[in-house]
Amino acid sequence: MTFVLQGRGDPLEIDPNGSARIIGERINPSGRSRLRQALLEGDWEYVAAEARRQVEAGADVVDVNVGGKGIDEKAALPRAVEAVASAVTAPLSIDTRDPQALLAALDVCPGRPLVNSIGGEEKILAENLPIITERGLPVIVLCMGQEGIPADADGRLRVAHQVLDAAIRAGMKEEDVIFDPLVMTVGADDQAARVALESVRRLKEEFPRNSITGGASNVSFGMPDRTTLNASFLTIACVLGMNIPITDPTNPQLRAALRTADIFLGRDRRLRRYMQHFRQTTPR
């Protein structure tokens, strides 16, 4: 079943069985010193410009994450949300696990944003789930529980079932739960991509009504030639069922990976979207 997001513009319908949609990842200070500095200095125009650049490149949703060393998340997140919402009409993904920061951001966010994220930890469910359900918002569920991130797909699927049950009991619509299998770096564990992809496949089989996301760029952290790894992972993940990945829309190779997945799934009639991407990115 579809779920709907909205910013200042038209509603955006997300279909688990439709073409891949992009959540733009770039407003996140992790590994981005210039963005961290902008957040510390209150340079909201820099944040707004980053949002515009992503939407112009093809982001359907803009993730807003201000969590970083020295940053007051409760104060900075609503300011960043205001800056992004004023700069683009696309829906936002409010990326925080701090309940006070979440409340402050939701108070200033237009439309119907996505909340990123909750998991199976008792504290997060107790504090954040009521905020989300009271406002009737969709949420990303991380497949991690009280003991952390399970090492295999079986463990991650168990968490997914547990959190979905808790969300439905709290009054959330089933289709408003989006699963994140948790993509970890192959630089630290050479089995990380295999486990993440197996988790995507299993999530698609067991929850065909729900959308699947994931921080695709995590797979290559600390590795050389990250774009090649990320693009290959994206294509495979989307073919297996990930329909709304979190990635960098400003990178043409990553956008091409998503268009390739649509071709392999038979979702690009006459290859129109792929050819449009090719024409846009080929130097004349």
The tens digit of pLDDT for each residue in 218-252 reads 999 999 999 999 999 999 999 999 999 999 999 99
Q: Is the pTM of this model over 0.95?
A: yes
Mean pLDDT taken over the chain: 97
Alpha helices in 144-282 (DSSP H): 153-169, 192-206, 226-240, 252-264, 272-281
Please give the domain boundaries of the chain with CATH numbers for all domains.
Answer: 15-112 (3.20.20.20)
Q: Could you report the per-residue pLDDT of 1-19, keeping only the tens digit for each?
A: 899 999 999 999 999 999 9
Measure the CA–CA gap between 270 and 273, rounded to whole angstroms: 9
Torsion of CA 26, 214, 13, 113, to 10 degrees: -60
Q: Could you report the per-residue pLDDT of 202-227, keeping only the tens digit for each?
A: 999 999 999 999 999 999 999 999 99
Residues 221, 227, 232, CA angle at the centre, nearest 5°?
100
Look at 230 and 268; give whichever has higher pLDDT: 230
